[in-house]
Chains A and B, each alone.
Chain A
């Protein structure tokens, strides 16, 4: 019996939510000894140590795990949109210069302003991302939609390269302390996440994803082809603009709180497509939950592997994601 799309969406969402919850639980408990867990569950020992364990979990582990999950969800959903709108399997949230713009913003913030207030770098990174997308989109509009996809991709790559060059320029002129901070930022980092960041990112991802999901049908149409879509009554230009801007906003918000973490936005959508098919109505929730679980798990690994040192989470996402993706590619 073939299930309706709606039923499939529900089923897949429920199972992936289960996966996500398991990942979150494992991540929250990794690093805690068994006895500590028992103490927490039974509440038998109300000593200083139990309190300390709670503090560690609540003020360090929970926010970073949540932030990783939210960032993963945002990147993967944005990836689905970019791959759909640009009809390019290589498209990911970073292709059209968003990451470069965000990096530039962050680098400017770190090296020129220091870090004056907590979210300064985040705000600058967000502004950088948005201005990169604005520039790329402005170019596409200036060409009045002729060869839209190619314009966006080419302009994106060029704008990205330009911003990268400016970023490297600033990097080469800054002191070693700033250099170190910038490098860690570029490799992605959740280690000092705060609830404030989680909240901001969660709001952005929720709003962005909802907007995209409500238009999932239109995204399906866009993939079929511009001509077909417009014959079927879709305002192709307006729809594309909406998708691009919302996805850019999603990515910018994520990049601003987590740094540039590669591979999530590229691989999670592909993996979900291989697993559950190309229908965006199913794909969007799947990417949201899958991305969240994937990045939360990666962050957990990055935190634990070299304990008490930490590895950059971007390295873990690529090292673990690439073989899995290759396996899916061969198998399906």
Chain B
């Protein structure tokens, strides 16, 4: 209801129900007329905007998100979602992205709407989006609620496994009107995944330590997205039994379990810092055997279609004999 309508109704009501009736006010018919008018305003639904076909999908908060077909002004609130929008060939519909989005390179031309996890609501609204894509983890619930209240369709994504990414691809394909692209991408996704799976299936699984933080030591546990990648790539996770996704882990226990391969992220340290840090732990056979690898954090931490590159890299690190040199490994190896 608009504000002007509300004030009208209020003044009507004041006039009609005030005890002091103005002189020469034949009140009964007027009051009836007024009541009819008020109820007409209240109960007659406002005229609808011109109907347009709606597309609805369910997001990861189990809400129906409906947009008019082929949204043209899309805002992505996570680097992974930005990448997926481009993978689906809908990059031209993006009008807003986070400051963290850096892939593919043309994304940098799109206006940024503030920091990842801390977007600027005003900038989002000013861009008049017809669809906002938001991650669930790391995003304050209030942001999503506010956008939804403003009538902006907001799709919330909480993909944590490869299967969920495939599901996400199909839903985003539907809502963005790029179903055939989504099918193609998902198909490639499945093929590459299957290829890795077949090759690592029958070989022994090395013990992997995947450090997302080194001081203090924070590992990717079995319940994290990275944890599922490790399983998929044919590795056993040192922190498989951790009850939270990214536990601060006990160094003694690491020494006891003695991983074969250590993986660190490039965001965590500059140049060779991480390697040097691990050199202190000569008790670990991974350190003695120079099995420390550094991966691109943007590659493995983002649940986008590029995650297949990460999976193949991991598999090649875990099973050099199986993959040999057939697969180029984009990793810095320790000296």
> In the complex, what residue of chain B is closest to A31 when comparing beta carbons?
B252
Whether B217 pairs with A192 at a CB distance below 8 angstroms is yes
> In the complex, what residue of chain B is closest to A307 when comparing beta carbons?
B250
Q: Flag whether B248 is at the interface (Cβ < 8 A).
A: yes
> In the complex, what residue of chain B is closest to A172 when comparing beta carbons?
B118
Flag the segment in B25-33, B82-90, B150-158, B265-273 that touches A. Answer: B265-273
Give the residue of B247, B265, B280, B281 whose beta carbon is less than 8 angstroms from that of A309.
B247
Q: Flag whether A175 is at the interface (Cβ < 8 A).
A: yes
**Residue among B239, B243, B268 having the largest count of chain A Cβ atoms under 10 Å:** B268
Give the residue of A52, A189, A309 whose beta carbon is less than 8 angstroms from that of B242.
A309
Whether A192 pairs with B216 at a CB distance below 8 angstroms is yes
Q: Flag whether A181 is at the interface (Cβ < 8 A).
A: yes
Q: Flag whether B122 is at the interface (Cβ < 8 A).
A: no
Which residues of B234-286 have CB atoms within 8 Å of chain A's CB atoms?
A: 239, 241-244, 247-253, 255-256, 258, 265, 267-270, 273, 280-281, 283
Q: Convert A274-308 into 0s and 1s, putting 1 for each residue whose CB lies closer than 8 angstroms to a CB of B.
A: 00000000000000000000000000000100111
Q: Flag whether A18 is at the interface (Cβ < 8 A).
A: no
A309-B248 CB under 8 A given contacts A52-B283, A177-B213, A180-B218: yes
Whether B216 pairs with A61 at a CB distance below 8 angstroms is no
Whether A309 pairs with B244 at a CB distance below 8 angstroms is yes
Whether A181 pairs with B213 at a CB distance below 8 angstroms is yes
**Contact partners of A189 in chain B: CB under 8 A:** 216
**Contact partners of B239 in chain A: CB under 8 A:** 308
Q: Flag whether B215 is at the interface (Cβ < 8 A).
A: yes
Q: Flag whether B299 is at the interface (Cβ < 8 A).
A: no
Give the residue of A52, A59, A115, A307 whose beta carbon is less than 8 angstroms from that of B253.
A307
Query: How distant is the Cα of A191 from the Cα of B248 in the complex, in angstroms?
Result: 9
Whether A115 pairs with B283 at a CB distance below 8 angstroms is no
Q: Flag whether B57 is at the interface (Cβ < 8 A).
A: no
Whether A184 pairs with B252 at a CB distance below 8 angstroms is no
> In the complex, what residue of chain B is closest to A55 when comparing beta carbons?
B283
Q: Flag whether A60 is at the interface (Cβ < 8 A).
A: yes
Q: Flag whether B110 is at the interface (Cβ < 8 A).
A: no
Whether A308 pairs with B242 at a CB distance below 8 angstroms is yes
Whether B215 pairs with A192 at a CB distance below 8 angstroms is yes
Which residues of A53-104 have CB atoms within 8 Å of chain B's CB atoms?
A: 55-56, 59-61
Whether A191 pairs with B253 at a CB distance below 8 angstroms is no
Tell me how many residues of B have a C-beta within 8 Å of chain A: 35
Give the residue of A52, A115, A191 whose beta carbon is less than 8 angstroms from that of B250.
A191
**Contact partners of B253 in chain A: CB under 8 A:** 307-308
Q: Flag whether B117 is at the interface (Cβ < 8 A).
A: yes
Q: Flag whether A176 is at the interface (Cβ < 8 A).
A: yes
Give the residue of B218, B241, B250, B255 whose beta carbon is less than 8 angstroms from that of A55.
B255
Q: Convert A301-319 into 0s and 1s, putting 1 for each residue whose CB lies closer than 8 angstroms to a CB of B.
A: 0010011111010000000
**Contact partners of A176 in chain B: CB under 8 A:** 116-117, 138
CB distance from B62 to the nearest CB of A (A): 27
**Contact partners of B268 in chain A: CB under 8 A:** 177
Q: Flag whether A131 is at the interface (Cβ < 8 A).
A: no
Interchain pairs with CB closer than 8 A, number: 81
**Contact partners of B283 in chain A: CB under 8 A:** 52, 55-56, 59
Query: How distant is the Cα of A258 from the Cα of B1 in the complex, in angstroms?
Result: 59
Query: How distant is the Cα of A177 from the Cα of B255 in the complex, in angstroms?
Result: 24
Q: Flag whether A114 is at the interface (Cβ < 8 A).
A: yes
**Contact partners of B265 in chain A: CB under 8 A:** 177
Q: Flag whether A194 is at the interface (Cβ < 8 A).
A: yes
Whether B270 pairs with A114 at a CB distance below 8 angstroms is yes
Query: How distant is the Cα of A61 from the Cα of B273 in the complex, in angstroms?
Result: 24
A114-B252 CB under 8 A given contacts A176-B117, A192-B216: no
Give the residue of A61, A175, A180, A194 whose beta carbon is less than 8 angstroms from that of B252.
A61
Whether B273 pairs with A308 at a CB distance below 8 angstroms is no
**Contact partners of B213 in chain A: CB under 8 A:** 177, 180-181, 184
**Residue among A175, A177, A312 having the largest count of chain B Cβ atoms under 10 Å:** A177
Whether B216 pairs with A191 at a CB distance below 8 angstroms is yes
Whether B252 pairs with A56 at a CB distance below 8 angstroms is yes
CB distance from A228 to the nearest CB of B (A): 49
**Contact partners of A192 in chain B: CB under 8 A:** 215-217, 251
CB distance from A116 to the nearest CB of B (A): 8
CB distance from B262 to the nearest CB of A (A): 15
Whether B216 pairs with A52 at a CB distance below 8 angstroms is no
Whether A191 pairs with B255 at a CB distance below 8 angstroms is no
A309-B249 CB under 8 A given contacts A114-B269, A192-B216: yes
Whether A184 pairs with B248 at a CB distance below 8 angstroms is yes
Which residues of B35-71 have CB atoms within 8 Å of chain A's CB atoms?
A: none
A309-B252 CB under 8 A given contacts A55-B283, A115-B215, A184-B216: no
Q: Convert A104-124 into 0s and 1s, putting 1 for each residue whose CB lies closer than 8 angstroms to a CB of B.
A: 000000000011100000000
Q: Convert A165-188 into 0s and 1s, putting 1 for each residue whose CB lies closer than 8 angstroms to a CB of B.
A: 000000010011100110010000
**Contact partners of A308 in chain B: CB under 8 A:** 239, 241-242, 247, 249-250, 253
Given A184-B213, A184-B248, A308-B242, 16 additional A-B pairs, CB 8 A: A55-B283, A56-B252, A56-B255, A59-B255, A60-B251, A60-B252, A176-B116, A176-B138, A177-B212, A177-B213, A180-B213, A192-B216, A192-B217, A307-B253, A308-B249, A309-B242
Show 6 residue pairs from A and B whose CB-CB distance is below 8 angstroms, ordered by the A residue.
A56-B255, A59-B283, A177-B297, A180-B213, A191-B251, A309-B249
